[in-house]
A and B are shown apart, each in its own frame.
Chain A
Amino acid sequence: MKFKKRLYVKNMRKLGDCMISIDKDLIKNIVSNGKRLDNREFNQYRDIIIETNIIPQAEGSARVKLGDTEVIAGVKLDIGEPFPDTGDEGMLMVGAEFVPLASEEFEPGPPNESSIELARVVDRAIRESKCIDLKKLCIKENEKVWCIFVDIDVLDHDGNLIDAATLAATAALLNTKMLKLEKDGENYKVNYEQKTDEPLPMTKKPVNTTFVKIGDAILADPSVQEEDAMDARLTVGTFEEDGETKFCSMQKGGNDGFTLEEIEKILDLAEEKGKELRKLLNF
C-alpha cells in the first residue's frame, strides 16, 4: 500500500514538473525572437494602480496592483526602545508575508527564504536611502523612540513581488500620519486611536526596479512565467536627490550570473524606470 501511494504522488509531480518546463521553453523561445508572452516591450512595465489609505485603522497603507500581482502594505506606529547602536534614531522594521491565498505555491507555516528575501530587499531600499529622517523620531535618546512597522501582504502573485511591495511600502509611508504622543508624568504614551495631521518625516521616494535575464535578453518587470524561465534577476533600488538619481541597494537572485556589461545596462534601465515609477508616487 505504502509503495503504491509513493508511485502515485511521484507521477503527479512529474506531470507538474513537465508542465513547468513546457512553459519555460516557450518563454525562452518567444524571448529569443524579441517578444514577450503578453506582448510588452522588453523594458516595459505592466499597468500599475496605487491606492492609498485603504486600511483606515492603520497609520498608513497602500494597495498596489502591478499587472495581476497585488500587494497591500500597512504601517503601524508604536513607541519603544531604540536599536542598541542607534540610540538617537527611530526604529524601522519591514516584514512580508506570502499569504497562502496568493498562490498555489505558498504554503502556510514559518516564513520561507523567498518571503524573508522580499522583506529584506524592500527594507534595504527604504533604510539605505535614508528616506525617513529617523533622527526626528527620537523621543528620549537611548530610551524611547518611535517604531515604524511596515508589513507587506502579498495577495496575488503574478511576478515581480519586489517592485510591487516596495511601491506599496513607500506609498504607505508617504501617507502615514503620526499618532498622538502623550506624557503621563515621566512616562510617554501613545494614543493609538488618535491620528494627527503630521506626516512621517519622509524626504525621498525610494523604489526598486527588477530585471531578469533570459538568454541574452534583459526584461523589466518579470511576470511569474518569466521568473520561472529566468537565468538570473537583478533588483536595483534608487531614489532622486537634487534631480540626480542615486542608487541605494542591489540584490541579485536566480541561479545564473550577469556579466559586467549586463550589469551596466541594467543600471541604466534602473535609472530610467525608477523615474517612471516615482512619478506614480506624487500624492
Chain B
Amino acid sequence: MSRIDGRKFDELREIEAKVGILKNANGSAYFRLGDSIAIAGVFGPRTVHPKHMEKAECAILRTEYRMSPFSTVTRTRPGPGRREREISLVTREALSSVLFLEEFPKTAIDVHIEVLQASASTRCVGINAASLALADAGIPMRDLIASCSAGIVNREIVLDIAGKEDTEGEVDLPIAYYPRQKKVTLLQMDGIATKTEIKEIIKLAIKGALKIYEVQKEALRKKYEEVR
C-alpha cells in the first residue's frame, strides 16, 4: 500500500533544522518536517514574574505552544484553545527531565513555540525546535530531546504521520525520546490498536526520533562552526 505522499512505511518527511535564527531570544531554532514548520524561542534563566511562582530550589520551566492563525488549512482562531494548552503541558513534561533546572534556583526558563504551518505531528516539530533552542540558549542539558510520530494508516504501521494521514488514518502516536537514557518522555495515542501493534508503532517512532536526533546535533554544530 503506498502512502498519500509516496513515502515508504519507515520514511520520514524532508527535515530542515536551523539554530539561532532570532535576535532577541536567548536561544532559538527553526524545525521543519515536510510541511509542518515550527519556530521556538527560549528566554532565561530569568527572574520570575509573578514572584510567588518562583521555586527556591530550582528553575521553573514554562512552555507555551501556539498555532499561528494562518498555519492551518482553514484559519485558526488566535489564542490558546484547550488543545494548545494540553500540548503546552505535555511539551513541558517532555523537555523537563534533560534540563539542569536545579542550577538556576528562583528563575524561570520560558520556551515559546510557534507553529507556522501545520501538516500533522506539529507537537513533534515544536519539541524538536524547542530542544535546539534550549541548547542554543546555553541552558545546561543532559541530552537533546527528539520527537517523532508513528501510527497506523490504511492498516499499515507507518512512521511520521503527515497531513491527511492524521484525519484519515487509524492511529496517531507521537513520542518524544531522550536518546542516551532510552526514555520516552512524551507518549500519546489516539485510535484503536492491539498491544502488539502499539509495541511495533513505538519501536518505529523511536527509530524515527533517533534519525531526527542526528539532524538536530548537526544543526547545532553547524551554527557554531565557521567554515574555514
Q: Contacts of B203 on A, CB cut-off 8 Å?
A: 260
Check A259/B93 contact, CB under 8 A, given A248-B191, A248-B192: no
- Among candidates A114, A254, A267, residue contacting B198 with C-beta atoms closer than 8 Å: A267
Interface check A258, CB cutoff 8 A:
yes
Q: Are B90 and A116 in touch, CB under 8 angstroms? A: no
Chain B interface residue bracket vs A: 35 or more
Q: Contacts of A250 on B, CB cut-off 8 Å?
A: 173, 187-189, 198
Contact digits for B185-208, partner A, Cβ 8 Å, 1 yes 0 no: 111111111110011001100100
- Among candidates A6, A13, A234, residue contacting B187 with C-beta atoms closer than 8 Å: A234
Q: Are B82 and A267 in touch, CB under 8 angstroms? A: no
Q: Are B93 and A116 in touch, CB under 8 angstroms? A: no
Contact digits for A116-127, partner B, Cβ 8 Å, 1 yes 0 no: 110110001001
- With both beta carbons as reference points, the residue of chain A lying nearest to B191 in the complex is identified as A128
Bound together, the chains give a CA A251 to CA B187 distance in angstroms of 6
Q: Are B86 and A246 in touch, CB under 8 angstroms? A: no
Interface check B155, CB cutoff 8 A:
no
A and B contact pairs by CB, cutoff 8 A, 19 listed = A17-B56, A116-B82, A116-B86, A234-B187, A246-B193, A247-B195, A248-B192, A250-B188, A251-B90, A253-B90, A256-B183, A257-B184, A257-B185, A258-B183, A260-B203, A263-B187, A263-B202, A267-B199, A268-B195
Interface check A39, CB cutoff 8 A:
no
Q: Contacts of B89 on A, CB cut-off 8 Å?
A: 113-114, 116-117
Minimum distance in angstroms from A212 CB to a CB of chain B: 13
Q: Are B192 and A246 in touch, CB under 8 angstroms? A: yes
Minimum distance in angstroms from B123 CB to a CB of chain A: 12
- Centre residue among A129, A255, A260 by max chain B CB count within 10 A: A255
Bound together, the chains give a CA A114 to CA B187 distance in angstroms of 17
Bound together, the chains give a CA A17 to CA B82 distance in angstroms of 29
- With both beta carbons as reference points, the residue of chain B lying nearest to A9 in the complex is identified as B52
Interface check A180, CB cutoff 8 A:
no
Interface check B97, CB cutoff 8 A:
yes
Minimum distance in angstroms from B145 CB to a CB of chain A: 9
Q: Are B183 and A259 in touch, CB under 8 angstroms? A: yes
Minimum distance in angstroms from A101 CB to a CB of chain B: 23
Minimum distance in angstroms from A93 CB to a CB of chain B: 11
Q: Are B82 and A119 in touch, CB under 8 angstroms? A: yes
Interface check B88, CB cutoff 8 A:
yes
- Centre residue among B52, B83, B195 by max chain A CB count within 10 A: B195
Minimum distance in angstroms from B210 CB to a CB of chain A: 13
Interface check A156, CB cutoff 8 A:
no
Check A128/B192 contact, CB under 8 A, given A250-B173, A267-B199: yes
Interface check B96, CB cutoff 8 A:
yes
Q: Contacts of B86 on A, CB cut-off 8 Å?
A: 113, 116-117, 120
Interface check A35, CB cutoff 8 A:
no
- With both beta carbons as reference points, the residue of chain A lying nearest to B181 in the complex is identified as A257
Interface check A166, CB cutoff 8 A:
no
When A and B form their complex, which 10 residue pairs have the shortest distance between CB atoms, in order from nearest? A257-B183, A257-B185, A252-B187, A250-B189, A255-B96, A113-B89, A128-B190, A116-B82, A256-B97, A116-B85
Check A247/B192 contact, CB under 8 A, given A252-B184, A264-B199: yes
Interface check B49, CB cutoff 8 A:
no
Interface check A189, CB cutoff 8 A:
no
Check A113/B183 contact, CB under 8 A, given A247-B193, A248-B191, A255-B97: no
Interface check B228, CB cutoff 8 A:
no
Bound together, the chains give a CA A148 to CA B90 distance in angstroms of 27
Bound together, the chains give a CA A265 to CA B228 distance in angstroms of 51
Minimum distance in angstroms from A153 CB to a CB of chain B: 18
Minimum distance in angstroms from A262 CB to a CB of chain B: 9
- With both beta carbons as reference points, the residue of chain A lying nearest to B88 in the complex is identified as A113
Known: A247-B192, A264-B199. 8 other contacts (CB 8 A): A116-B85, A117-B86, A128-B190, A246-B193, A252-B90, A252-B188, A260-B206, A271-B195
